[in-house]
Amino acid sequence: MGKRIRKLKNVRLHREGTDTLLYVGFILIAVAVILWKSFDTKIPFWIFTVVAGALYLAVVNFYRCPKRFYDGDTEGIVVAPADGKVVVIEEIEETKYFHDRRMMISIFMSPLNVHANWFPVDGRVKFVKHFDGNYHKAWLPKASEENEHADTMIELEDGREVLVRQIAGAMARRIVTYAKDGEDCYIDEHMGFIKLGSRVDVFLPADCEVCVKMNQITTGDQTVIARI
């Protein structure tokens, strides 16, 4: 696709978590200081410090954002848009945009996974649409249509199209999409971020070669899920 333009984010913690980590850190420190000064015994302080420290590290883990590169030719390659587990591999009749048969591959992200999302293919963003909805458990089939979600349509160089759907789960309450209408997009770029447990669906041409299996663990921007 010619010279690839990479807009990589050279960070270890995702920018979506900067404010959260800062505010929570201040609050925890303030509570710890109060406990230290308010009791003759330091047991409450140490109990709080251990518990709060463990919870804070869990939040830090959630917002981690590894710097990744796909090592290989990206032509005809579809990479996993997220870390997680493959929960759906199914040929479906897609009636919202394509009105034809599509191969849908879905990846479920638990709260322990990296929640940054990557573009799965090289191409151009045709449009991005956000839809309000419910918050069913993300692995349920109805979540793809009924839950709050954001759709990003990507047009490949040969004119074929790939749809990526970011889906909010039972715990997720915020979907962030960095993709913009009309922009070129590339594997290795961040497409967005979903806070807490969630799912990403990829709708591919029905004749694609699926390269993953059910329940397979995926690594975003690294695992090849299909060839088209």
The two three-digit tokens of residue 43, written as one number: 């047991």
Distance of CA 117 to the CA centre of its chain: 3
The count of other CB atoms within 10 Å of the CB of residue 143 is 27
Q: Verify whether residue 110 is a known catalytic residue.
A: no
User: Which residue, 81, 69, 61, 52, is CA-closest to 17?
Assistant: 61
Q: DSSP assignment of 164-201, as one string?
A: EEEEE-SS--EEEE---TT-EE-TTSEEEEEESSEEEE
Beta carbons of 132 and 148 less than 8 angstroms apart: yes
- Residue 208 and residue 222: Cα distance in Å, rounded? 18
Q: Which helix (H) or strand (E) holds 117?
A: strand 116-118
Identify whether the C-beta of residue 163 lies closer than 8 Å to the C-beta of residue 153: yes
Strand, coil or helix: what is 66? coil
Q: Which of 38, 106, 144, 198 is catalytic?
A: 198
Question: Which active-site residues does the annotation give?
Answer: 198
